[in-house]
Amino acid sequence: MKEYEAVVIGGGPAGLTAGLYLSRYGLNTLLVERGLPGGQIVNAGRVENYPGFPNGISGMDLGQLMQEQAAKFGLNFTTAEVSGLKREEKLFKTVTDDGDLLSGVVVIASGSNYRKMGLEDEERLTGRGISYCATCDGFLFRDKDVAVVGGGDTAVSDALELSQHARRVYVIHRRDQLRASQVVQKAAMAVAKIEFVWNSIVVQLEGEEKLSNLVLKDVKTGVTSKLEVSGVFVAIGLIPNSDPFRGIIDLDEVGNIPTDELMRTPVPGLYAVGDIRRNSARQVAAAVGDGAVAAKSAFGYLKGG
């Protein structure tokens, strides 16, 4: 069983930043990631709202640069799936499919997965007209027609964001009224280029090289119709990657991890950063800040400060 001073679970911007700072503090640190470095950000065709890149940068490139920088300061990496986390006396045991790890502190940065529509061709057209982040990709659809699927605060806020770029924004909702807050609803209703498509769901995606049409179904009449759009932004919720941690900490009602302002969970020595933590801003810049704060907190904890 390998032992480290710190283990970071997740290789998105929050986890990579936490690992970078922990390594710079001189701690023997391992980052465990099951996929590509960068987390969800690798799905962004272009990131234009992260400081330091005035011309934007692809999500894939940004994740790679973050990993290279963290490695420069001595961060260790391994590719593995985490299935559990336990407390054994004064140490944590991180259970993975590549063996168990012991450490004095753990930073959970496992993020969330976007809830998908579950349609054929959804994976194929992701990044080719289908997006899950209006803030990341909205600018790519300047002067084009787009749609947003959902009716909560995120969906309507996405529609407002997209209205700054797109020619027309259709909000597709399965009910005849929104779940979003009244303030957000009122703002969207006042924008002429935002159009609401009520009592409708997307049942099919069309397009060869890129998305060209949505096939909609009226849930009351059963009638189907086509909507020609260049892009669709799916905003039907997030699924926190928190199942492996249910045995060690109480999660909130949606599965996020509660923390204080120093990224500390109620379990001493355990921290949570980025999208996995409750009230996350779910932006790269905020995730990076979370990682830096957690690393400083963890270093102080290990050194008795």
Which of the listed residues 234, 266, 283 is the one where a domain comes to its end? Answer: 234
DSSP states along 134-178: HHHHGGGGTTSEEEEE--SHHHHHHHHHHTTT-SEEEEE-SSSS-
Q: 6, 8, 9: which is closest to 240 by C-alpha?
A: 9
Identify the active-site residue in 100, 121, 136, 290: 136
* Structural domain count of the chain: 2
The encoded tokens of residue 238 equal 């997030």
What is the SS3 assignment for 11? coil
Identify the active-site residue in 97, 98, 121, 137: 137
- Cα pseudo-dihedral 267, 268, 271, 272, rounded to 10: 20
Q: Determine the pLDDT at residue 43.
A: 67
What is the SS3 assignment for 207? coil
User: In the structure, what pLDDT confidence band is assigned to residue 305 with cuts at 50, 70 and 90?
Assistant: low
Same-domain pairing of 159 and 192? yes
- Compute the distance between CA of residue 84 and CA of residue 86 in angstroms, rounded to an integer: 7
Task: Look at residue 283 and tell me whether its pLDDT is greater than 90.
Answer: no
Same-domain pairing of 189 and 228? yes
Same-domain pairing of 134 and 33? no
Classify strands 99-108 and 112-114 as parallel, antiparallel or unpaired. Answer: unpaired
Q: 30, 157, 108: which is closest to 271 by C-alpha?
A: 108
Same-domain pairing of 30 and 127? no
What b/e sequence results for 235-255 when a residue is b if at least 16 CB atoms lie within 10 Å of its CB, and e otherwise? bbebebbbebbeebbebeeeb
pLDDT per position as a tens digit, 86-136: 998 889 999 999 999 999 999 999 999 889 999 999 999 999 999 998 877
Same-domain pairing of 279 and 209? no
Task: Look at residue 67 and tell me whether its pLDDT is greater than 90.
Answer: yes
Same-domain pairing of 275 and 206? no
Q: Determine the pLDDT at residue 40.
A: 79
Q: Determine the pLDDT at residue 113.
A: 87
User: In the structure, what pLDDT confidence band is assigned to residue 47 with cuts at 50, 70 and 90?
Assistant: confident
* Per-residue 3-state assignment (H helix, E strand, C coil) for 49-111: CCCCCCCCECHHHHHHHHHHHHHHCCCEEEECCEEEEEEECCEEEEEEECEEEEEEEEEECCC
Mean pLDDT over residues 141-161, rounded?
95
pLDDT per position as a tens digit, 120-133: 999 999 999 999 98
Identify the active-site residue in 98, 100, 121, 133: 133
Residues 6+ apart with CB under 8 A from 81: 34, 96, 97
Which of the listed residues 182, 202, 234 is the one where a domain comes to its end? Answer: 234
Active site residue 100: no
pLDDT per position as a tens digit, 165-198: 999 999 999 999 999 989 999 999 999 999 999 9
Same-domain pairing of 100 and 247? yes
Q: Which residues constitute the domain of residue 123?
A: 116-234
Instruction: Supply the CATH number for residue 7's domain.
Output: 3.50.50.60
User: In the structure, what pLDDT confidence band is assigned to residue 59 with cuts at 50, 70 and 90?
Assistant: confident
Task: Look at residue 20 and tell me whether its pLDDT is greater than 90.
Answer: yes
Query: Residue 11, Cα to own-chain centre: how many angstroms?
Result: 12
Q: Determine the pLDDT at residue 237.
A: 87
Mean pLDDT over residues 48-57, rounded?
89
Active site residue 137: yes
Same-domain pairing of 182 and 287? no
Same-domain pairing of 221 and 122? yes
Same-domain pairing of 221 and 129? yes
Same-domain pairing of 227 and 244? no
Active site residue 153: no
Which of the listed residues 200, 234, 268 is the one where a domain comes to its end? Answer: 234
- Please give the mean pLDDT across all residues of the chain: 94
Which whole-number Å values give the CA distances from 47 to 62, 134, 162, 236, in the listed order? 8, 11, 15, 22
What is the SS3 assignment for 22? helix
What is the reported pTM? 0.77
Q: Determine the pLDDT at residue 45.
A: 65
C-alpha gyration radius of the chain: 21
pLDDT per position as a tens digit, 224-280: 999 999 999 999 988 999 999 999 999 999 999 999 999 999 999 999 999 999 999
Same-domain pairing of 174 and 199? yes
Mean pLDDT over residues 52-79, rounded?
94
